[in-house]
Amino acid sequence: AQRVRRSEAVATIGAQLLGSPKARAALGEELFVVCEQVCVAACDFNAPALVRQTLGALQEAFPDSMRVGRLEGLALEAEGRFGEAEEVYAALLKKQPGNADAMKRRVALAKARAGPEEAIKLLTEYLEAYAADTEAWAELAELYLSLSMYKQAAYCLEEVLLSAPHDAAKHLRYAEVMYTLGGTENVLAARKYFAAAVELSGGHSVRALYGLCACAQALAGAKGHKLSLGEAKLYANAADRLRTLYAQVDSKHETLLAGALEAMGVYAEPSARAQESDTASELTS
């Protein structure tokens, strides 16, 4: 199940819980864990009074804690005091150079204040120490994409795929970047990952199906590339699957789609309707 961050609910219920002496006593050792969660939620929800209440309790109980130090930085960020927050994170890193939370908060600050170039520099330093952080690689890819640095973004997404080989969305993102890079070899690679995304999504990824059709259009005009029967079947199956998905919503949409696919040079044969897995398995092996 996907985790959902509901800061307003956590802050509201947490304030009521912490405001009750009976409830605080019942929490026992979990009191400070709840304080930490409520403090973060209050920063998100812009509830400064609640931030001060929870942060003050944590500072009193754990004056030298690195985790509390990170919360101090978050509280300053929530108030717009970014320079002071940067000083807090710098002090934490001086005390403990490899502190992952402080390093990531500096990246977030740099992204908001200095732009993607500085954020890339700091995030690269972070990944030198924490190379297994898949989310950091994905964030670095997005930073590179914001600067149209597609080759660097593709490298980062390859690292992501190594950690999430069965995630259709990750295959799709990598395919889109490779397609954007252009050139026959890159489009062929994009086609492979679009096909994998279709297969992993059970044939329901409309973007991946469109990606296959876009690859068909791009490769049709590629010098030295000759369309094989297997490729023609793959593209026809992708187009047919798109028409099926659109027809389930509205037949008018299917008619518009058919015209668009014809303009791309991709044709769907109703008599050749294939199952979703067959659509992708042609070129993923």
Tens digits of residue pLDDT in 263-276:
787 765 543 333 44
pTM (global) more than 0.85: no
- 169-196 pLDDT, tens digit per residue, is 999 999 999 999 999 999 999 999 999 9
Sign for the pseudo-dihedral over CA of 63, 69, 74, 76: positive
Which residues of the chain are under the pLDDT cut of 70? Answer: 1-2, 267-285
Separation between Cα atoms, residue 229 and residue 55, nearest integer Å: 66
Task: Look up residue 96 and give its DSSP letter.
Answer: S
The closest of 237, 161, 229 to 199, measured between CA atoms, is 237
- 101-126 pLDDT, tens digit per residue, is 999 999 999 998 888 999 999 999 99
